[in-house]
Amino acid sequence: MSYAHAAATYQRNAVLTASPEKLVKMLYDGAIKNLEKSRIGLAEAKTARSPEVGNALSKAMGIIGELRASLDHAAGGEIAGNLDRLYEFSLDQLSQANLQRTPIGVDNALQVLRTLKEGWDGVVPA
């Protein structure tokens, strides 16, 4: 079994056995990782329009969209509403970053997601 295959199997099993809270943490980690990748690419003129940057932005936006779609507004009340607005802001910032091909919007979205991830890290054990 190759290393890549073993790593993919491990990751798939980690997702399949994770609690909902751990899944949210994993989603934040994935979004942050892709935002970091896109921020680095957008900072350089020669890579700002690369497919890798576009793919990283797209993945991050997909993850944030899933986080937003999974909000339970009935059970979550005001907190769900606040998270919805933060996700909407982040998606808007990433759309602007994608259009303008500058890292500013990515930096703003990263700030939001890192803060939210810190909150989850404080309540959900590693």
**Do residues 23 and 14 touch, judged by C-beta distance below 8 A?**
no
Task: Report the Cα 63 to chain-centroid distance in Å.
Answer: 5
Confidence of residue 111 (pLDDT cuts 50, 70, 90): very high
Burial class (CB in 10 A: 0-12, 13-18, 19+), 109: buried
- Secondary structure of 31-63 as H, E, C letters: HHHHHHHHHHHHCCCCCCCCHHHHHHHHHHHHH
Summarize pLDDT for 52-93 with one digit per residue, the tens: 999 999 999 999 999 999 999 999 999 999 999 999 999 999
Summarize pLDDT for 15-50 with one digit per residue, the tens: 556 788 889 999 999 999 999 999 999 999 999 999
**Given this model, what pLDDT does residue 125 score?**
79
